[in-house]
Chains A and B, each alone.
Chain A
């Protein structure tokens, strides 16, 4: 079992709809969770971080964390074609500062 798992996609969503991206992790001591966006040929860009259970909203993005279920998700409201990218979930375990990465979900927003 991989430490951080994501559906590779592609996930196709109509423009203006809500895109829902999911990530599960295996190590219960994981404490810090991040979502990165990566356009083809570019480096990852940090878009959300979440550290405690519940929802965290930033503009059109909402991160949701459920530590009991070992599950973190990213919702993108009012999806735009410019949101088309690969979304990477990353986790830090305990006091270990190493980011453990999922393989990413490719998101395609259709006009």
Chain B
């Protein structure tokens, strides 16, 4: 049984560009949450998708947007990249949102 997968593993972008990160949930899971983790800090909640709708959103600007597809996979889009967006982006899947299992993450570097 495949766990949560994310792509790409690493990404380098230039300030002002746009980026799309992808996540496939664990089999049987219907909820996907996205987190941003800066070095030495706990993850920060970006948003959560359930039934193709954004169910909850953390304190992130509208530059951060997402989507969930009918097969429960999800995308995170970030527009107008800033240097401060450099971080590890984590996707977690769950059934109904409780026990969340994380993918390996995407390391985004903005130069």
Q: Which residues of A contact B103 (CB under 8 A)?
A: 43
Asked if A103 contacts B98 (CB within 8 A), the reply is no
Nearest-neighbour CB distance to chain A for B110, whole angstroms, equals 18
Nearest-neighbour CB distance to chain A for B76, whole angstroms, equals 15
Residue tally, chain B, CB below 8 Å to A: 27
The number of inter-chain residue pairs (CB within 8 angstroms) is 57
Instruction: Report the Cα distance A90→B35, complex, angstroms.
Output: 13
Measured CB to CB, the residues of A under 8 A from B are 32, 34, 36, 42-46, 49, 88, 90, 92, 96-104
Measured CB to CB, the residues of B under 8 A from A are 31, 33, 35, 41-45, 48, 50, 55-56, 58, 88, 90, 92, 94, 96-105
Excluding A92-B98, A97-B97, 6 further A-B contacts by CB distance (< 8 Å) are A42-B104, A43-B104, A43-B105, A97-B33, A98-B58, A99-B43
